[in-house]
Amino acid sequence: MNMLYGIGFVAACIIALLLTPLVKRFAFWVGAVDAPNHRKVHSRIMPRLGGLAIFLGFVGAYFIVAPALDTQKSDVAIGLLVGGAIIVLVGALDDRFDLSPKIKLLGQILAACVVVYSGVVIDLVNVPFGDMTISLTWLAVPLTILWIVGVTNAINLIDGLDGLSAGVSGIATATIMVLALMMNNVIVVMLCMILLGSIIGFLFFNFHPAKIFMGDSGALFLGFSLATLSILGFKQATVVSLLIPILILGVPLSDTFFAIMRRWVNKTPISAADKSHLHHCLLQLGLSHRQTVLVIYGIALIFGLCSVLFAQIQDTLWAMVILIAVLLFVLVVGAEFIGIISKSKKPVLQFLQKLAKFAQVNSRVSNK
């Protein structure tokens, strides 16, 4: 099986690597290009549709290894492929024609329904800090669709710098793969290996300075795949908490959450675009394009390591509480430091500054 994993990874990487230059030419030919504007950081016209290379690498490699896989276990993979094809089609059309948000959302819901029909459903929720399991009954299907659509759009939101979405998605995919290996979930490991190979093959052309963007076709497909794999990887593991897939996708989900909070604080529409996402804030601090991407890779890696650690310490209540408390504290302090919610309202940092001043005063008094 290890050899099969390697074959799937290498095949996906090579297919994506070979197809990306062809997709680049195709994007220019059909006019699927991204022009610079006040919200973009690139300064020249760039081809989009890179997601086609990622998707075709994924599909091609899957059919290379599919004959060796258990047919019954492969049914959900077919659901991922069909749903992924819908997502890529919607994203590709948006890359070329700028579809309305309603049409894009409809396509995402349709793709999510295909996955649900194939049997990928969040039917049980394991409550953190205990062994209690809640059956979702009639809520299972709408919650699954909401999760898939939410994660799909979260990955799309962070697609603002060369190699950013691809790299963060690759780290999340690798994390899911490690956890699936720990649970001996063969089909999830295989799908993660193939997806990771496709991402790396494409990233060769997408890392700064990028020669092609993945576009909505790529960002939506990666988000859709990660959402599906996170459900598929953990739905039957009674020891796995709901918090683990949230930790794995910590970067895009937290950036989406902070975007919602920022727009609520500033009293602007939630759908309004801005230049205050995580990568924008890091650039404004003076980091270069490449440094910003690498810093966010590091943050994604920390989230991934924490999710693996969390899976190991679930039976130890105090350890879980400490880990979550530390993560939340660092997340909030970091968010306020870079100004991702508000440039002026920083209550936690202001409280810590007052606390530090108070400690200094007490120290001087005691020294006297």
Residues counted in the chain: 368
Confidence class for position 237, pLDDT limits 50, 70, 90: very low
The mean pLDDT value for 102-129 works out to 84
Place 238 in a pLDDT band, splitting at 50, 70 and 90: very low
* Number of neighbouring beta carbons within 10 Å of residue 297: 17
- For the annotated binding site, the residues are 156, 216
Residue 316 has pLDDT above 80, yes or no: no
> Taking a C-beta distance cutoff of 8 angstroms, is the pair 214, 50 a contact?
yes
pLDDT score at 158: 87
Give phi and psi for 46, each to the nearest 5: -120, 140
Cα-based distances in Å from 177 to 58, 99, 159, 171: 15, 33, 23, 10
d(CA 158, CA 94): 17
Q: What is the pLDDT of residue 247?
A: 85
Distances (CA, A) of 113 to 78, 79, 344: 13, 9, 43
Helix or strand (DSSP H, E) at 41? none
How crowded is the C-beta side of 326, counted as CA atoms within 13 Å?
10
Report whether 32 contacts 49 (CB < 8 A).
Answer: yes
Question: Is the pLDDT reported for residue 315 higher than 70?
Answer: no
Token pair in block for residue 31: 């006019």
- The bridge status of strand 124-126 relative to strand 133-135 is antiparallel
What average pLDDT does the structure give for the chain? 86
Mean pLDDT of all residues in 344-352: 85
Domain ranges of the chain: 2-248
Are 242 and 220 in contact, with CB atoms under 8 Å apart? Answer: no
Q: In this structure, are residues 48 and 211 in contact, taking their beta carbons and an 8 Å threshold?
A: no
Whether 132 shows a pLDDT value over 70: the answer reads: no
Per the annotation, binding residues for Mg(2+) are: 156, 216
Question: Residue 264: its pLDDT value, please?
Answer: 86
- For residue 313, name the pLDDT band (cuts at 50, 70, 90): confident
pTM of the model: 0.90
